[in-house]
Amino acid sequence: MSAFNGGVAIARLLTSAGVDTVFALHGAHVDPLFQGAAAEGLRLVDMRHEAAVGHAAEGYARVTRRLGVAVVTSGPGFTNVITSMANAFTDGAPVLYLAGAPGIGEAETNGLQSGIDQVALAKPVTKWSGQANRPQDVARLAAHAIRVALTAPMGPVFLNLPQDVLGAPIPDDGATPALASPGPAWPAPASVDAARALLEGAKRPAIYVGAEAWFANAGEALRTFVETSGIPVFSDFTAHGLIPADHALYGGTGHKLAYVGAERPDVVLALGARFGLFTLGDASHLFPADAKVIHVHTNGAELGKVRRADLAIVADAGAVLDALNAVPPAMEHAALDAWARTVRAAKAARPRKLDADAAGHNGPIHPWHAVKAVAAAARDAIMVADGAEAYHWLNEAIAQTLPGSYLTHGHFGAMGIGLGLAIGAQAAAPERRVMLLSGDGAMGFTIAELDSLARHHLPVVVVVMNNHSWGASQRFQDAAPAARRVIGTTLGDARYAEVARGFGCDGVTVTELADLAPALDAAFASGRPTVIDVRVDYAPPAPELALMVLARKG
């Protein structure tokens, strides 16, 4: 009997797709996939919870711009990964989710981990969801799923694999299904001409660059366009680093536009970005209502959905930049220089104000001082942020020099994603340093993944911002009318450094600011997974979180 089955077929297919690592949690239904990965030399990172497995696959995809792969077993293994599917779906991460299932011959027998329609459950949160019903269909449908995931607009896909189908022998004819995906979607020349004309007529143009620009590998084209045109650029979190944080024309992540002042953009070139949560600021919106918008995205459904698009272009962000670079817009550089100075002044004033606000602080470490130390230590690292208040603070200090280096919450706002994302990032880029900044609340979701860090020798440095609170939630209760109680939002004195040592990692507790930078340096130098439990003050709220609380007060 042939040893070639669905597990081996999928492993060969993944190798041909450029995948070298699979994230998984074992179950009998998916053992053929584990055996196939071992037979074909795929690295298999086995983990402790399926939610973290999915987030690790997301982290791998976001760092490499390649397909991430998550393997989980049937029933509860599958349901545990649905949050990751939804997270990848809302943020356009190309992840292949493979789940085992009871055999087709076990239908309606009340078998182990049966009784739910996994394909139907996955359908609303994936680009494609299907099931292989015959052994010879496993590789064909897996290849189809991969093509769908990697075709713009990218996103997650799901393939359900009944146990008797996955493990059955199939003819080994040496063939691997073709995986070629369409190339970038090019813009119509007339659309590029119209975009050029709008930019040439602008007095205060701004570029807002999003996740699709990173996945399109548009960094070089973006930098060329920015430096040729002189237009300031802002980014969402996934695209942070496409322009180095210290570049004279980089204004910061998108929320920083709220602090530019009275002079606001009059024309916005949005490249591969989605409007919504990160662009509807409380300071008269990040982009003024009367600003003209050129919106470039591969998903036509995003164009005009939230914000009117004066010019909508369904195309690849990199392709549009290439076309604009071929014939650069003729900009009025004297006016642009003044606008760029305004942006730079606002960018420089922001940390100075935070420094002044934190000056003379007494008590536990001020969160602003903590995130400044973290951001300085991790400028050339891959930075992961998890937890509402922790990440709001980090957004004020984040300053990465390389692209693909800031992984954090997207539109779905899922907490507890950090350890999974960090594991995926470190597995994807073993030569780079990886740091996770987590709130103490978020840290608890998948804390057992510290064991995964230790077992797989992944030297992630984890900083826990420990204020003994579900900080963002408690802020809303604090600001509410007196009749509403602070309840269910405080945490105890958990000792994360001790937990880390129990799982085989290093652990350090920091209570004095002067000890934080040396602890960070020592953790990176050790080459070991390390948790640094930083005791920070709850009292000062993160500024952008404070704006959100005030907007919803009462």
Would you name the residues annotated as active-site residues?
29, 50, 113, 413
Angle formed by the axes of helices 333-358 and 388-397, to 10°?
Answer: 130
Query: 375: part of which helix (H) or strand (E)?
Result: helix 367-377
Cis preceding-peptide flag for 153 (omega within 30 of 0): yes
Concatenated DSSP letters of 189-232: HHHHHHHHHHHHT-SSEEEEE-HHHHHTT-HHHHHHHHHHH---
Handedness of CA 120, 125, 127, 133 (dihedral sign): negative
Question: 462: which 2 tokens?
Answer: 């984890």
Concatenated DSSP letters of 443-498: HTTTTTHHHHHHHTT---EEEEEE-SB-HHHHHHHHTS-TTS---S-B-----HHH
Would you give the DSSP letter of residue 136? G
Burial class for 536, CB neighbours closer than 10 Å (0-12, 13-18, 19+): buried
CA pair distance 316, 328, nearest whole angstrom? 18
CB under 8 A, 24+ apart: contacts of 486-493: 491/440, 491/441, 492/468, 493/468
CA pair distance 438, 407, nearest whole angstrom? 12
CA pair distance 463, 440, nearest whole angstrom? 9
Length of the chain: 554
